[in-house]
A and B are shown apart, each in its own frame.
Chain A
Amino acid sequence: MKAISYRAEVKRQEEGTIEDIEVILDILAGNRNAYSEIVRKYEARVRGYCLAMLSNPTLAQDAAQDIFIKAYQALDKFRAGSSFSTWLYRIAANHCVDVLRKASRRKTESWEALLEREGEKVEALFISSQNTERAAENNELITKILSYLPERHRTIIVLREVQRLSYEELAEVLKCSIDAVKARLRRARRELESKLRHFFNRRASK
């Protein structure tokens, strides 16, 4: 437990929470333009999170903007005791869930159809090492695969594996205990693994 807190603390310091608070105080004092500094700092992370969650660049772009607007409007509710990034992730997580619920009526192709169509690419993505030439294609594939996970599982997988949040930060974002985070993460990973098992079994049989 101590190791977790220490790591989270180090990461938090690296992210410059103290500077964030100074900027936030500046914004709350009436300097609206100082918020651009916050947007610039967290833009890539929030957009990445939205893209991984929503699997649609246009939706993700709009959602990321909405998240920053919501954060600005709620800035006076931010408490300096927690890190700004986890607070922002909480807003992002809730917003993306809302967007997903609204968009849930859209039809998507079945997992089996995806495997049939993109099977080789998916296999190459997980089995082969880094391929920078196909980064855009791989990103698209990853977001597609993630979109087949239930939103609860998708949220925690993205926060942990893509955004690399610690257990403690996950607990803060998802408002639950570290034990609950571990249990939820285990279930989410099992689900993802079971979806991809087909490729690993094929690889093992080769």
Chain B
Amino acid sequence: MTHKRIKDRLLNFHDRELTGEERREITEHIKTCGECRLALERWELISGALRRSTLEKSSKGFVESVMERIPLPQQAIPVPRRKLVPNWLIPALGYGFAILFVFAAVSYRYPTVTTENILLADVPQASQWIFSPELPETTKLLGITKEDV
């Protein structure tokens, strides 16, 4: 390193913020360079005086004064919990079910089973009922043969 570069780095040297190699080089340099040695000594005196200062002192009552200025947390006011199920819902549902039940009861009837219904239900559309005192010519009617009659 040149003299100028070392001079620039004297304060970093003082701060012990250099690598081992740089420190060694500067240590060697200040052994022979009066200007750099004096500059370093000067700064060490200034820094020493600043570091010796006893500005950092605790003060009686400081903590209390700060804590007094910090507002107390507000008292928790009980907030009414919002109900998931509103009060009116259960009776409304009850009435609703009751109405549905009555409606279903009224509208639902058992199918009236009559012979006519049964007979008409399975008869194909093509069939025609012919009311005649004579038997029809078909050999099989409703699964009953002429012979069976």
Task: Specify which of B19, B58, B70 lies most central, judged by the most chain A CB atoms within 10 Å of its CB.
Answer: B70
Which one of B46, B56, B69 contacts A196 once the chains associate, using CB atoms below 8 Å?
A: B46
* A161 & B51 in contact (Cβ 8 Å cutoff): yes
Q: Within B49-92, which residues are at the interface with A (CB < 8 Å)? A: 49-59, 62-63, 65-67, 69-70, 72-73
Does any Cβ of A come within 8 Å of B12's Cβ? yes
CB distance from B17 to the nearest CB of A (A): 6
* A47 & B59 in contact (Cβ 8 Å cutoff): yes
Which one of B45, B55, B66 contacts A126 once the chains associate, using CB atoms below 8 Å?
A: B45
Question: What CA separation (Å) do A196 and B50 show in the bound complex?
Answer: 13
* A44 & B50 in contact (Cβ 8 Å cutoff): no
Question: What CA separation (Å) do A163 and B142 show in the bound complex?
Answer: 115
Which one of A43, A139, A186, A192 contacts B58 once the chains associate, using CB atoms below 8 Å?
A: A43
Q: Could you tell me the dominant secondary structure of chain B's interface residues?
A: helix
**Contact indicator per residue, chain A 147-167, by CB within 8 Å of chain B (1) or not (0):** 000000000010011101001
For the A-B complex, the count of residue pairs with Cβ-Cβ distances under 8 Å equals: 99
* B49 & A125 in contact (Cβ 8 Å cutoff): yes
Which one of B47, B57, B69, B70 contacts A47 once the chains associate, using CB atoms below 8 Å?
A: B57
Which one of B55, B62, B69 contacts A139 once the chains associate, using CB atoms below 8 Å?
A: B55
* A139 & B51 in contact (Cβ 8 Å cutoff): no
Does any Cβ of B come within 8 Å of A84's Cβ? no
Does any Cβ of B come within 8 Å of A74's Cβ? no
Q: List 5 A-B contacts (CB under 8 A).
A: A52-B53, A125-B49, A139-B54, A142-B53, A164-B51
Q: Measuring CB to CB, which residues of chain A are less than 8 angstroms from any residue of chain B?
A: 3-4, 30, 32-33, 35-36, 39-40, 43-45, 47-49, 51-52, 61, 64-65, 68-69, 72, 125-127, 130, 135, 138-139, 142-143, 157, 160-162, 164, 167, 182, 185-186, 189, 192-193, 196-197, 200, 204
Give the 9 A-B CB pairs with smallest separation, nearest first. Answer: A48-B56, A48-B55, A161-B50, A44-B56, A68-B66, A39-B63, A142-B53, A44-B58, A126-B49
